[in-house]
Amino acid sequence: MGIRQTLFLAAWIVVILVVTPALAAVGLPGVAPADPLFDVAVKGKHVWIVGFPGTVLHSGDGGATFESQGKPDRSAYFAVDFVNESTGWIAGRGGKILATRDGGATWVQQATATTEPILAIDFVDATHGMAVGNFATAMRTDDGGATWVPVRVAPEGEDPSLNGVAMISSTEAIVVGEFGTIFRTGDGGVTWESVSSGVNDSLFGVAVLPGGAVMSAGAGGVLVLSTDAGKTFSTVETGTTQHLFRITGAGARTLVSGNGGILLSAEAPQGPFVAWKAPSHFWLGGAQVGQDGKGFLVGGRSLVLRTTDGGRTWKRWGEP
């Protein structure tokens, strides 16, 4: 990993863990005002939120109330992914991946053979998934994580931080990372090819949108889009220089969250994007919106925002 990325990650950890006071989420069990919340998953009326320290929250009533699904340790959990209301995974610091088959009532740690932070995890179904992280860490599974097989995504001798992964199908996946790197596989991760992103800025998040387009977000307001399953990418104008971290589709709407409380929204992946400022000047993390238009957005300082109209408007969780 390059010096530039090392310094950026060090600064990012400082931003996450040492921040100035801000409004806290109301009534989230076991969550302190300064706790960062990194990601969220929504399936029907079930919602899961993960963060630090060891935060795993669950709601079974559409987010009206939340319960803690335990703090097994003080790990930072950076990512959560559910394929249905029962089956899901969380991933984070120390190479940890935990899986559940009962909606999070119980979590079982899966063997990953790495201690590097797992920054992103994505499953296309209950068996096929990938996880990526620091120092070119990448692994795939064809059995729901019972076994994780290391894969070499970056060329030999290179070890970029791999920040995001998106499964297109059981055999196709896109991985993004440091220095604008994009890698694509069409054979389940056996072989990988480098794809030009057209940018040199680090890419942090990648997602397959409902219409099939693949989008990645990164440093300095960078957004790149593919309409051919990740074979080629072109840049999209965002109108911001804030770092952009996560992408989600809300029906036809595309949402991109970033630093400084910024949330970009567009009616189509090509834009134009309109910026909305969240009631926080800290970073925004993962967001997800269900088919019913109800969804959640999480971020720094225990921020949880809620939408009931497909991401058009948002308000802080717990407010009337």
The pLDDT tens digits for 14-37 are 334 433 333 444 589 989 999 999
Length of the chain (residues): 320
Token output for 288: 């997800």
Of the candidate CATH numbers 2.130.10.10, 3.30.360.10, 3.40.50.720, 2.40.50.100, the domain formed by 34-316 belongs to 2.130.10.10
pTM: 0.91
Q: For residue 178, what is the DSSP state?
A: G
What is the residue extent of each domain of the chain? 34-316
The pLDDT tens digits for 241-259 are 999 999 999 989 999 999 9
Mean pLDDT lowest for which of 22-36, 78-92, 119-133, 283-297? Answer: 22-36
Apex 76 CA angle, 85 and 157, nearest 5: 105
Residues 164-183, mean pLDDT to the nearest whole number: 98
Interatomic CA distance for residues 91 and 97, integer angstroms? 4
Q: Where are the alpha helices (DSSP H) in the chain?
A: 3-17
Contacts of 284 (CB under 8 A, 6+ apart): 245, 246, 257, 258, 259, 261, 262, 263, 278, 297, 298, 299, 300, 303
The pLDDT tens digits for 141-169 are 999 999 999 999 999 989 999 999 999 99
Residues 4-15, mean pLDDT to the nearest whole number: 40
Interatomic CA distance for residues 100 and 48, integer angstroms? 12
